[in-house]
Chain A
Amino acid sequence: MQTIDLEAEGLRHLNATLHAQSQETNQTAWEVINPRGSHAIACGLDAPIEVAVKGSTGYYCAGMNKQATVRVHGSAGPGVAENMMSGMVVIDGDASQYAGATGHGGTLVIKGNASSRCGISMKGIDIVVHGNVGHMSAFMAQSGNLVVCGDAGDALGDSIYEARLFVRGSVKSLGADCIEKEMRPEHLEILADLLEKGDCDAKPEEFKRYGSARKLYNFNIDNAY
């Protein structure tokens, strides 16, 4: 285990050291201490390493992640795992707004609640939230899966393209062109796999599925103001 004290060594040193790890690195376990809400911790990683952040983080933790597993032992500020490509990011606490925004791949697990705009413009990422998500989650979501074990806020899936949204609790309101859809066996299978990856013991049968009504795909004069 390699330990980096962020307060003593600084953000550039931390991220440069993690970026220097190659595919074949044998230093696969890293620990970051004293994060103290700093920005851009463990951003842009591209190696099969595991990074444990011992505390809460600020803006853009684990952004653009590839391959790496980043675990935040605390809560995360805005934009955690933004534009993630692959790998895994786990937040033990809560996540602030736009968690997992624009993510292309990988898995983001939030053990607490996520606030507004979780998974906005998601493009293939899987997001598993153990608690609730705030308003405008999965706004313009294009691909991937958002699993919410608690409740969803206003305007879930507004202007959604093709992502799958699974919610166990209540949905305060659905956004434009987002509808409840039939839960078929293949969806239960996908959901069971996501719940297992997200270390969540909820049962797939307890969820409802939401997705696109596909009414905004083509120009319709009735949609114009």
Chain B
Amino acid sequence: MCGIVGLFLKDKTLEPQLGSMLTDMLITMTDRGPDSAGIAIYGDGDRNTEKLTVQSDTPDTSFDGLDTRLSDVLGVSVSIETKDTHAVLELPEGKIEAARDALAEIDGGIRVMSVGDIIEIYKEVGLPKDVAARFEVSKMSGSHGIGHTRMATESAVTTMGAHPFNTGSDQCLVHNGSLSNHNSLRRKLRREGVRIETENDSEVAAAYLTWKMQNGATLGEALQDSLDDLDGFFTFVVGTKDGFGVVRDPIACKPAVMAETDEYVAFGSEYRALVNLPGIEDARVWEPEPATVYFWNH
């Protein structure tokens, strides 16, 4: 069991409230996944820079002066904003891969949470309310976001095993379920040059979608193909820079409820997660069909 929440805003005036709405939704899903929690926020971004969100178990030492050290190695300006165990590094475009290599040299304890123009992922072990509070998620604004509360089944309860998973620029995926062919698919994707960092099944699903999209598929096409290539139980919610998608396996035993109004599209593992959203009484509320791809774009 795991809990998923997602919110894709159509009404820009709600953007300052994205973090607070998602936090409320996330906390209602605590009993579906009290092990760890995470959230991906698609916020603002400077057109000429990219964001690298990183984590360390020893943030005081790892992040102290990290911007200067990275700047020295890369020869470009780097800014850093620290939030608890996470830090968001902003670099000029095209420097992400070099920065990842440099980070591994500088401090092996630094792990990459997300990469992209606008995405920031915060995830940690602990109760959802504590995780959300540590990163002050409720103060964040953005156009869309996805949250996950984890009850681990397929890999250890660690920061790296928490969702969302980011395997390509501005992409993220959260998963409720379990995949049975993730080992063979991981080997195949690694041979194709896709970066996969953990033994977690859900990361493989994220990497699979990234690989499909790198090869020209749209988000919708990649999700459609996942129905053929992924074996197991899944309800996925995925985000891209300007898109938001949902797909469930053909058996569809992992729960899902969606709501749509003129202001937003919302996803919850249960209706409980949606009850505080504005105008939910009059929203179109439905259960996504099995083996059916849903996606929205800005």
Q: Say whether A and B bind each other.
A: yes
Give residues 247-270 of B contacting A (CB, 8 Å): 250-253, 255, 257, 270
In the bound complex, do residue B253 and residue A97 qualify as a contact, i.e. CB atoms below 8 Å apart? yes
Say yes or no: is B290 at the interface (Cβ < 8 Å to chain A).
yes
* Cβ distance A32 to chain B, nearest Cβ, rounded Å: 15
Given contacts A36-B275, A96-B255, contact A58 B286 (CB under 8 A): no
In the bound complex, do residue A77 and residue B270 qualify as a contact, i.e. CB atoms below 8 Å apart? yes
- How distant is the Cα of A134 from the Cα of B288 in the complex, in angstroms? 11
- Mark interface residues in B272-294 (1 if CB within 8 Å of A CB, else 0): 11110000000001110110000
A-B contact count (CB 8 A): 41
Q: Which residues of B are found within 8 Å of A28, using beta-carbon distances?
A: none
Contact of A96 among B250, B251, B287 (CB under 8 A): B287
- How distant is the Cα of A37 from the Cα of B275 in the complex, in angstroms? 8
- How distant is the Cα of A116 from the Cα of B290 in the complex, in angstroms? 9
In the bound complex, do residue B290 and residue A37 qualify as a contact, i.e. CB atoms below 8 Å apart? no
In the bound complex, do residue A37 and residue B270 qualify as a contact, i.e. CB atoms below 8 Å apart? yes
By size class, the interface of chain B is: 10 to 19
Contact of B286 among A94, A97, A134, A135 (CB under 8 A): A94
Given contacts A97-B253, A116-B252, contact A36 B290 (CB under 8 A): no
* Chain A residue nearest to B255 in the complex (CB): A78
* Chain B residue nearest to A112 in the complex (CB): B286
- How distant is the Cα of A135 from the Cα of B287 in the complex, in angstroms? 13
Given contacts A75-B285, A97-B253, contact A58 B270 (CB under 8 A): yes
Contact of A115 among B270, B273, B274, B287 (CB under 8 A): B287
Question: How many residues of chain A have a CB within 8 Å of chain B?
Answer: 16
Given contacts A78-B255, A116-B252, contact A94 B287 (CB under 8 A): yes
Say yes or no: is A69 at the interface (Cβ < 8 Å to chain B).
no
Q: Which residues of A are found within 8 Å of B253, using beta-carbon distances?
A: 97, 116
Given contacts A75-B285, A96-B255, A97-B253, contact A58 B290 (CB under 8 A): no
- How distant is the Cα of A128 from the Cα of B285 in the complex, in angstroms? 22
Given contacts A96-B255, A97-B253, A116-B252, contact A75 B271 (CB under 8 A): yes
* Cβ distance A155 to chain B, nearest Cβ, rounded Å: 11
Q: Which residues of B are found within 8 Å of A115, using beta-carbon distances?
A: 252, 287
In the bound complex, do residue B252 and residue A77 qualify as a contact, i.e. CB atoms below 8 Å apart? no
Say yes or no: is A67 at the interface (Cβ < 8 Å to chain B).
no
Given contacts A78-B255, A116-B252, contact A134 B290 (CB under 8 A): yes
* Chain A residue nearest to B281 in the complex (CB): A55
- How distant is the Cα of A58 from the Cα of B191 in the complex, in angstroms? 44
In the bound complex, do residue A58 and residue B287 qualify as a contact, i.e. CB atoms below 8 Å apart? no
Say yes or no: is A212 at the interface (Cβ < 8 Å to chain B).
no
Q: Which residues of A are found within 8 Å of B274, using beta-carbon distances?
A: 37
Give residues 55-82 of A contacting B (CB, 8 Å): 56, 58-59, 75, 77-78
Give residues 77-126 of A contacting B (CB, 8 Å): 77-78, 94, 96-97, 115-116
Say yes or no: is A173 at the interface (Cβ < 8 Å to chain B).
no
- How distant is the Cα of A116 from the Cα of B235 in the complex, in angstroms? 15
In the bound complex, do residue A56 and residue B271 qualify as a contact, i.e. CB atoms below 8 Å apart? yes
- Mark interface residues in A128-148 (1 if CB within 8 Å of B CB, else 0): 000000110000000000000
In the bound complex, do residue A38 and residue B287 qualify as a contact, i.e. CB atoms below 8 Å apart? no
B interface residue numbers (CB < 8 A to A): 250-253, 255, 257, 270-275, 285-287, 289-290
Nearest 10 interchain pairs by C-beta:
A37-B272, A37-B271, A36-B275, A115-B287, A56-B271, A58-B270, A58-B272, A37-B275, A116-B252, A96-B287
A interface residue numbers (CB < 8 A to B): 36-38, 56, 58-59, 75, 77-78, 94, 96-97, 115-116, 134-135
Can you report 11 A-B residue pairs in the complex whose CB atoms are below 8 A from each other? A36-B275, A37-B271, A56-B271, A59-B270, A75-B271, A77-B270, A97-B252, A116-B251, A116-B253, A135-B252, A135-B290
- Additional A-B contacts beyond A97-B252, A116-B251 (19; CB < 8 A): A37-B271, A37-B272, A37-B275, A56-B271, A59-B270, A75-B285, A77-B255, A77-B270, A78-B255, A94-B287, A96-B287, A97-B253, A97-B255, A115-B287, A116-B253, A134-B252, A134-B289, A134-B290, A135-B252
